[in-house]
Amino acid sequence: MKFWIKAFALFVSLSTIAPSSLAESEGKDYEAVKQNIENILRFEVLAIGDAPVPGLVQVSTNRGFFYTSVDGKFLISGKIFNVEEGMRDETEKSLAKLRLDGITDFNQSVIEFKAPDEKFVVNVFTDISCGYCRKLHREIEEYNANGITVRYLAFPRGGLSSKSYKDMVSVWCAKDQHDAMTTAKSGGSVAESSCANSVAQQYAFGQQVGVTGTPNIILPDGSMVPGYQPAHALLNTLKNI
């Protein structure tokens, strides 16, 4: 068996779909699958296409990344590993591409702490109330000194009704975002402010690509490092990707 499905987490039985409603071109029209997921589960389907395993479809939604049977009857949450390629994580490979594609939408709205002699750029999902996010930020000069540019994306862990969300909007809307970020992560208060911002969209994007906590570091190849890493450790990681 070429592929192994590991970490099988959930089967959700959906309504039966007649074969005639599926693809006429080798099963590659997934409209029926999309309709089932959106109409029954109320997930928003963002992308849908072939999975690396014959008989499965991979689906990116606003609630995460899933696989379905080609008839849309079953939803699978888990990972697919390629045994013949050294247990390559095929799910992570797909998610890495989604992360890199999606991050470009926020190029103008990240809060960037740029290295003077830039060698690497990482995107970090952060929450101003998170202890390890604060620890990472206290060492931002060390990251920069090692040639690592840090670009912050917002991920208020308590959701869009939390105080953290409101405070992060104020940071993103501050006249001096860098100063506001540093003040907030030092435990200080930031003047309440509002503006057109993408904090909610950044949070939603994080959920879509597997972010569940903070800090969460997206590397230049799209892979993800959950949790804090000191500058020297992150530099070693970056040199070896």
**Distance between CA atoms of residues 230 and 234, nearest Å:** 6
Helix 163-172 / helix 177-185 crossing angle, nearest 10 deg? 150
Alpha carbons 27 and 70: distance in angstroms, whole number: 7
The catalytic residue positions are 127, 130, 133, 157
Q: Which two tokens stand for residue 40?
A: 């029954």
Q: How far apart are CA 65 and CA 82, in angstroms?
A: 18
Residues near 1 by Cβ (< 8 Å), separated by ≥ 6?
Answer: 83
The answer to whether residues 36 and 69 touch, using CB atoms and an 8 Å cutoff, is no
